[in-house]
Structures are given as structure tokens and as C-alpha cells.
């Protein structure tokens, strides 16, 4: 018995093998590519949804200004000319774009006023559609092509690995060792094929492009804002410039105010008046229409603004040939108790409008 026990006691105990943790499940290559493509599309979608207007509007404005000819120049674009008429057209294009008008609508209005000679190049030569098409091909074509490529590769038979390649000396699967080894990202990149690297690089570039466009759009939006003090300073300077006949500089300041606050009544009244004057000089129905629209907005937004009533009344009488409408605006203007010096300047026009409406003069 003791011998037997001794024999049993002398039997060496079998060492227990250490437990091997199961390998972590990782996303397959196709799943990673799909996630990468979704992130790329999402980044562009966020930019287009949050702040699409600044970059797109700036590109459209620059393109339209480059193809529209300066009315008083020979073969010089509105973008490169420095005349008051050219700046009035630039203001008209900018404000029409910000109001949501399409390129074709803006060009149609200019063609109706100036004829085909107003365009330096045909409208069909725009590169905007080509750029947009290239962007769609990149966003949709690269992920789709990569998916189709790897689906074809997945259908090919995979050769069985040799026995020595499936485990290491300790019996642990090589896959789990590689998963835990340092530098697995570099190793995966090194094992990737050329097509995999191209698709991955394209996805990363799309993500970075979307993030950059989003940041640029947000910065552009914030840069257009002006404080109330800055708006008042620009309005005062612009009105003084307009009073001495510096219409181009005045339009620049009024336009900057409207870019920050499209409903600013003083800027609408003065900017509309200057646009209407440029339209009358160049016989441009598009500029006249833009000017009267802004003057009408000014009266609607701020009925008690003196110059808004006066400018709109003069336009209705002299350009709109609407004596009755002009009389209504002149009455509202006089009810605001304007200074005598201003009344003396416009009294002949007021009397003429009342006479055309078969009414006695108010003064």
C-alpha cells in the first residue's frame, strides 16, 4: 500500500497549459472600406448641410463676374473693370446670388437688358458642372469601385496554409500573435495591395477635404459679421461718399453692410437708389429691378426711414411712371418732418408728381 502510494506520489504532475485568450474579432477589410467611404461622404454632407453657401456662392460670383463684360469697356470683364457701372453689375450679381437666383436666371436678366454682347464667353463653357461631376465621381466611384474589386477577390479560392504556418512553437495561432504584436498598423499597410492603398488614401483625402471645407465655410461665415458700431460707421461713410458722387466706393460699403445684415433698411435704401441710378444710366432693366426691389424692402422693413420713402417715391414717379404711388410715398416722407434744406431740393419733383396725379401741391 505504501509502495503503491509512494509510486503514486512519485508520479510527476502534468503541467496545465496556460489558457489562450480568444482572438479579438476585428472588422474585415470590406467593412473597413465601407466605414471609410461612409465617413468621407458624411464629412462632405456635413459641410454641405451646415455651411454650403459661402464657398459655393463665392465660386459662382467669381465665375459670373468673369464672363460678364463691363458695359462701358471693350473686352474687359466686370470682375477686372473699375468703373461705377462695372461695380454696380458686380453688386447686382452678388446680391442675386445671395437671394438664391441661379446662374441661368441672372444671365437671362442681363441678356434681356444688354443682349448677347454682355457675355465674354458662352454660358455653356462654365466649368462648374465639370467640377461637380468630378466630385461626384470621386465620392461615389472610388468606394464603389473598391467594393466591386474586393468582392471579386473574395470569390477567388484561398490556398490552404501549411501546417507549420498555422501555429508557433507554443501552439498558439499566429493570427492572435500578430493581432497583439506592436506595429500591426504598419504591417497591415505593408501587406495591403496597391488597390487597397489607393482606396484607403482616397478615403482619407475625402475626409480631410470635407473637414477643411467645413472649417473654411464656418470661418467665412464668421468673417462676414459686423458689430453694430461697425455697421453705423460704414453707413455714415457710405452716405457721405454717395453725397459727393463717389458711387463706386459708396456701393462697396453698402454692399459690405448688406452682406452682414441683408435686412438693414438704410443700406437697402441707399444701395437700391445707387443701383437704380446705374441702371438708368446704362439702360439696364436688371439693375433697375434690383434697385427698386431693395428700396421697396427698405420701406417695408422701416417705414419711418426718411430717405427710404424719398428714394422710393422719386423712382416711382420718374422711372415707374406711377404718379399715384409716388404721391403716397411723398406724403409719408413729408409726415416724417424732413429738414427744410432737403425739402427745397426735392420740391420741384414733389410738385410735378402731385400735378401728374391731378392733385394740388402739398407745399
- Domain borders along the chain are 228-356
Taking the model in full, what pTM does it have?
0.52
- C-alpha span between 218 and 115 (Å, rounded): 38
Q: Which three cell numbers stand for residue 265?
A: 433698411
At 336 the pLDDT is 94
Can you list the residues of the chain whose pLDDT is less than 70? Answer: 1-37, 39-55, 72, 74, 82-84, 121-200, 202-224
Q: 170 phi and psi, to 5 degrees?
A: -90, 5
- C-alpha span between 32 and 147 (Å, rounded): 11
At 37 the pLDDT is 67
Which one is the CATH code of 228-356: 1.20.1050.140, 1.25.40.10, 3.40.1080.10, 1.10.600.10?
1.25.40.10
- C-alpha span between 128 and 134 (Å, rounded): 10
Q: Which three cell numbers stand for residue 60?
A: 459662382
- C-alpha span between 250 and 234 (Å, rounded): 9
At 204 the pLDDT is 66
Q: Which three cell numbers stand for residue 141?
A: 466611384
- C-alpha span between 114 and 9 (Å, rounded): 112
Amino acid at each position: 500500500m505504501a509502495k503503491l502510494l509512494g509510486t503514486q506520489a512519485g508520479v510527476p504532475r502534468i503541467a496545465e497549459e496556460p489558457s489562450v485568450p480568444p482572438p479579438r474579432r476585428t472588422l474585415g477589410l470590406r467593412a473597413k472600406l465601407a466605414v471609410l467611404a461612409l465617413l468621407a461622404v458624411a464629412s462632405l454632407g456635413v459641410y454641405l448641410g451646415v455651411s454650403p453657401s459661402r464657398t459655393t456662392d463665392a465660386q459662382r460670383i467669381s465665375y459670373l463676374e468673369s464672363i460678364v463684360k463691363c458695359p462701358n469697356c471693350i473686352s474687359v470683364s466686370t470682375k477686372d473693370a473699375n468703373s461705377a457701372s462695372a461695380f454696380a453689375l458686380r453688386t447686382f450679381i452678388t446680391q442675386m446670388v445671395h437671394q438664391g437666383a441661379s446662374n441661368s436666371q441672372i444671365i437671362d436678366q442681363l441678356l434681356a437688358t444688354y443682349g448677347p454682347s454682355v457675355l465674354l464667353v458662352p454660358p455653356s463653357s462654365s466649368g462648374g458642372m465639370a467640377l461637380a461631376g468630378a466630385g461626384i465621381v470621386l465620392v461615389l466611384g472610388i468606394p464603389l469601385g473598391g467594393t466591386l474589386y474586393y468582392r471579386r477577390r473574395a470569390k477567388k479560392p484561398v490556398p490552404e496554409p501549411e501546417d507549420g504556418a498555422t501555429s508557433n512553437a507554443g501552439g498558439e495561432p499566429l493570427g492572435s500573435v500578430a493581432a497583439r504584436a506592436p506595429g500591426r498598423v504598419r504591417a497591415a499597410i505593408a501587406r495591403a495591395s496597391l488597390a487597397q492603398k489607393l482606396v484607403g488614401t482616397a478615403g482619407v483625402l475625402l475626409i480631410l477635404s470635407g473637414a477643411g471645407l467645413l472649417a473654411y465655410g464656418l470661418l467665412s461665415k464668421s468673417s462676414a459679421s459686423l458689430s453694430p458700431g461697425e455697421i453705423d460707421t460704414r453707413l455714415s461713410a457710405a452716405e457721405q461718399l454717395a453725397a459727393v458722387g463717389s458711387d463706386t466706393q459708396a456701393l462697396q460699403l453698402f454692399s459690405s453692410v448688406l452682406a452682414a445684415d441683408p435686412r438693414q433698411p438704410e443700406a437697402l435704401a441707399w444701395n437700391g437708389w445707387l443701383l437704380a441710378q446705374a441702371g438708368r444710366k446704362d439702360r439696364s432693366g436688371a439693375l433697375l429691378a434690383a434697385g427698386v426691389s431693395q428700396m421697396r424692402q427698405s420701406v417695408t422693413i422701416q417705414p419711418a426711414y426718411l430717405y427710404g420713402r424719398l428714394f422710393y417715391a422719386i423712382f416711382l414717379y420718374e422711372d415707374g411712371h406711377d404718379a399715384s404711388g409716388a404721391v403716397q410715398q411723398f406724403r409719408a416722407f413729408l409726415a416724417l418732418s424732413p429738414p427744410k434744406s432737403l425739402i427745397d431740393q426735392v420740391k420741384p419733383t414733389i410738385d410735378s408728381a402731385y400735378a401728374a396725379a391731378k392733385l394740388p401741391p402739398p407745399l
